[in-house]
Structure 1
């Protein structure tokens, strides 16, 4: 039928207007849904990233990256080993996975040993650290060897205090590790910690009574310790005397007016005053 009045709309025009609003409404709904899907995808991607990082921690080179990204702490030393993270990781590992990681850590140890032989000590330290980040905590002996070897490399770099720390860690993991006791005793002596060195040598003799170096050291160190203590005592008494003279000077006195006398029977001391000291 023709539209004679000019004001009436055809059925096709009416349907077109109605479906136009409906179409735009559907587009908005689909856009919102798509946006939500992207948000969920990102969130899931984040979750996967976290899971991936947990998984990657089991591998040497990536362990550092994931650990540092997770903590965001750039002040940690390069040889830092986060044993709390390793403990958490170990809860999810099967025995076969632990054994695979132990074998991987063994490869790091062998590589570190090769670098050590080539006198590439800094590189050896880094590789031993990767081994420690890989080896499960359940393997005390293997981890003890890695700490001991890293201490040897640090000693070559003259990083004595850090080497002592690694020796201590190795001994904690393996209390009968004579070789490391010897290494730590030498380090203690080199850093003027003679009492600690003597204790380590004594411990060595309980584990190996025939150890020649420890036998010599237990005879050599006591006189050195006594000499050092006497020197320290003299320095301390000298400082106390200077302080006493400063306090007594306003009274016209000095420490020379006072004499310490030892009682042979009790071992105690008494103070004797001299008005006019010679």
Structure 2
């Protein structure tokens, strides 16, 4: 997972702030009713800082790190440093045979078996053969896609591209997976890359016209949802002062596109 994937979106941040404020309001209200002590309030606040899914997230992280198809390339590199060129060549030939076996299993719709076979190939194919390893990852992604393991399939496509930046099939496979998982911006970026590598690619050319309106529609919907949440957040903050967001009128300057805010004492 890249660092970019770990960065929360504005929508997530607003949801987090809103939920915390609502929780604090509820805790404060209950504390007033029950006559809670300062120590009780402090404990409640400390408890509220612990994520509800703390244990679950750790377990999920551990599961992902030890998946059956995990390939430890660091350990492979250490092992290969002790092998002769002849040993590496033998391992490479065995990996090629496994790829052929995985292809036959895929054609026979034995997708779980083919995933396991491609994984075996990846675990023995020397790192000095990046193009072959790239194909193994891309083929494994195809099998995972058939089983609807889309996130893992995207990861495999990404690995295939890292090993071979000119691999059009891996870009195409990932672009479709991104679109299926509603990551439209990423999908469009992959299609654009495909056109750089293969200007005659019909599917990529069609996507350049199909995706931008969908992205604009999604962004507009997200903007409306965000504004609604921000309005709720503003009303929550202004309520103790006897105000609401209706007391503030926002006007857009048609020339600059900027906004000005005017205060209204008695909104209709």
2:197 aligned with 1:207: yes
Residue equivalent to 2:31: none
Residue equivalent to 1:175: 165
Q: Which runs of no fewer than 5 residues in structure 2 stay unpaired?
A: 1-62
Q: Which of 97, 104, 108 in structure 2 is aligned with 1:107?
A: 97
Residue equivalent to 2:247: 257
Residue equivalent to 1:155: 145
What TM-score do you get using the length of structure 2 for normalisation?
0.73
Following the alignment from structure 1 to structure 2, what is the Cα–Cα distance between the partners of residues 115 and 201?
Answer: 29
Following the alignment from structure 1 to structure 2, what is the Cα–Cα distance between the partners of residues 249 and 141?
Answer: 62
Structure with max Cα Rg: 1
Following the alignment from structure 1 to structure 2, what is the Cα–Cα distance between the partners of residues 75 and 208?
Answer: 35
Q: CA RMSD in A?
A: 1.7
Q: Deviations along 1:203-245, whole A, 9 cap, x unmatched? A: 1111011111111111111111111111111111111112222
Following the alignment from structure 1 to structure 2, what is the Cα–Cα distance between the partners of residues 210 and 259?
Answer: 51
2:71 aligned with 1:84: no
Q: Which runs of no fewer than 5 residues in structure 1 stay unpaired?
A: 1-72
Change (3 A) 1:250 1:85: closer
- Within a 5 Å distance, the mapping from 1:1-278 to structure 2 comes to 76-278=66-268
What TM-score do you get using the length of structure 1 for normalisation?
0.71
If asked which structure has higher relative contact order (CA below 8 Å, sep 6+), I would say: 2
How far is 1:110 from its partner?
0.5
Change (3 A) 1:82 1:247: closer
How far is 1:273 from its partner?
1.9
Residue equivalent to 2:24: none
Change (3 A) 1:92 1:249: closer
Change (3 A) 1:243 1:96: same
Following the alignment from structure 1 to structure 2, what is the Cα–Cα distance between the partners of residues 249 and 168?
Answer: 48
| Stretch deviating more after TM superposition (267-276 or 242-251) | 242-251
Change (3 A) 1:243 1:75: closer
Following the alignment from structure 2 to structure 1, what is the Cα–Cα distance between the partners of residues 237 and 116?
Answer: 57
Following the alignment from structure 1 to structure 2, what is the Cα–Cα distance between the partners of residues 91 and 250?
Answer: 68
Q: Deviations along 1:43-79, whole A, 9 cap, x unmatched? A: xxxxxxxxxxxxxxxxxxxxxxxxxxxxxx9971110
